[in-house]
Amino acid sequence: MTAGTLTLAGREVPRLGYGTMRLTGPHIMGPPADRPEAVRVLRRAVELGVRVIDTAWYYGPYEANLVLAEALHPYADDLVIVTKLGGARRPDGSWYSALSAQELREGCEHDLRLLQLDAVPVAHLRWMPGAEIPFEDALGTMISLQDEGKIEHLGLSNVSQEQVELALTQTPIVTVSNAYSVLNRADEGLVERCEQAGIAYLPFFPLAASPVQSGAGVTGAGVVADVATRLQVSATQVALAWLLHRSPVMLPIPGTSSVAHLEDNLAAASLRLSPEDLAALDAA
């Protein structure tokens, strides 16, 4: 991959990663529809240079982590697995916040068991809006888990800039992972703050996907599709290349359940956008 690297969790990693959420069944519930293909996707990702894999015990639940371990355990020394704690699923697939000390600890134990790890390289505190637990308390539990050696490095997800500033007064933060894409710029200020602080920014929904339904939102989008047509590449490559151009701390983690889409997405690392293309996309 030719989009450069950054240092994350003590490893030098290419700036294009992979997210496991789309490996599960429909609505992020149940096992992969095509398990052998899910295993192939993960192995091909690593073969093509991916060294950051974002996951969560509650994708499936359990299923994404199980297939990740099946495909890649024992893990390469330079692979950075990034998990998240703070969410959980009801049997009907609905999501709820699991941010109490007990729930965060249980989530961490799920990750360690399912992924067959002694310590998670990076764990995000995944904030859930409306949670009754104070942010500082949940962060305190994450710091305790790190002190106990179960988490190597801490990140934050779905957080405001104020929460990032507060966390930085308590502990080093190596990643921020919020929704961000060429079609969703709500987090511009935090991207700049991460760049200034040298914190890796892992945008989720980098292809402007729907939270629960399959499909990359950027494929139907006007300017993105126009640039893609002109350059004779896919709209997803344009969306990912725009992210990679946006900041040196940007590390997108696009999700897919197919090797063909994975290969398409990773090709974005070598797509150079002209100043004119970037200006058009900036204005999208």
Ligand X SMILES: NC(=O)c1ccc[n+]([C@@H]2O[C@H](COP(=O)([O-])OP(=O)(O)OC[C@H]3O[C@@H](n4cnc5c(N)ncnc54)[C@H](OP(=O)(O)O)[C@@H]3O)[C@@H](O)[C@H]2O)c1
- CA pair distance 47, 273, nearest whole angstrom: 25
Find the catalytic residue in 18, 59, 180, 201: 59
Site for ligand X in 58-117 (CB under 6 A): 84
CB of 275 to ligand X, least distance (A): 25
Contact between 150 and ligand X by CB under 6 A: the answer reads no
- CA pair distance 6, 77, nearest whole angstrom: 16
Contact between 204 and ligand X by CB under 6 A: the answer reads yes
CB of 132 to ligand X, least distance (A): 19
Candidates 12, 164, 142, 150; CA nearest to 80 is 12
Q: Is 62 a catalytic residue?
A: no
Which residues lie below 8 Å from residue 153, measured CB to CB, with a gap of 6+? 9, 121, 122, 123, 146, 172, 174, 175
CB of 183 to ligand X, least distance (A): 10
Give the x/- contact pattern for ligand X in 19-48, rule: CB under 6 A: xxxx--------------------------
CB of 208 to ligand X, least distance (A): 6
* DSSP per residue, 25-51: SGGGBSS-SSHHHHHHHHHHHHHTT--
Task: Pick the piece of the chain touching ligand X (CB under 6 A) from 6-14, 148-156, 168-176, 206-214.
Answer: 206-214
Candidates 91, 89, 163, 93; CA nearest to 124 is 163
Site for ligand X in 252-271 (CB under 6 A): 253-258, 261, 264-265
Contact between 205 and ligand X by CB under 6 A: the answer reads yes
Question: How far is C-alpha 167 from the chain's CA centre?
Answer: 20
Q: Which is nearer to ligand X, 163 or 257 (CB)?
A: 257
CB of 149 to ligand X, least distance (A): 24
Q: Which is nearer to ligand X, 33 or 279 (CB)?
A: 33
Task: Pick the piece of the chain touching ligand X (CB under 6 A) from 16-24, 69-77, 136-144, 222-230.
Answer: 16-24
The token pair that represents 62 in the structure block:
């359990």
CB of 147 to ligand X, least distance (A): 23
Which residues lie below 8 Å from residue 192, measured CB to CB, with a gap of 6+? 247
CB 56 within 8 Å of CB 277: no
Give the x/- contact pattern for ligand X in 222-251, rule: CB under 6 A: ------------x-x---------------
What angle in degrees, to the nearest 10, is found between the helix axes of 63-72 and 35-47? Answer: 60
CB 236 within 8 Å of CB 268: yes
# residues contacting ligand X (CB under 6 A): 31
- CA pair distance 170, 60, nearest whole angstrom: 32
- CA pair distance 279, 284, nearest whole angstrom: 9
- CA pair distance 45, 14, nearest whole angstrom: 12
Contact between 175 and ligand X by CB under 6 A: the answer reads no
Which one among 15, 126, 193, 246 touches ligand X, defined by CB under 6 A? 126
Residues with a catalytic annotation lie at 59
Binding site for ligand X (CB under 6 A): 19-22, 54, 84, 126, 157-158, 177, 204-209, 214-216, 219, 234, 236, 253-258, 261, 264-265
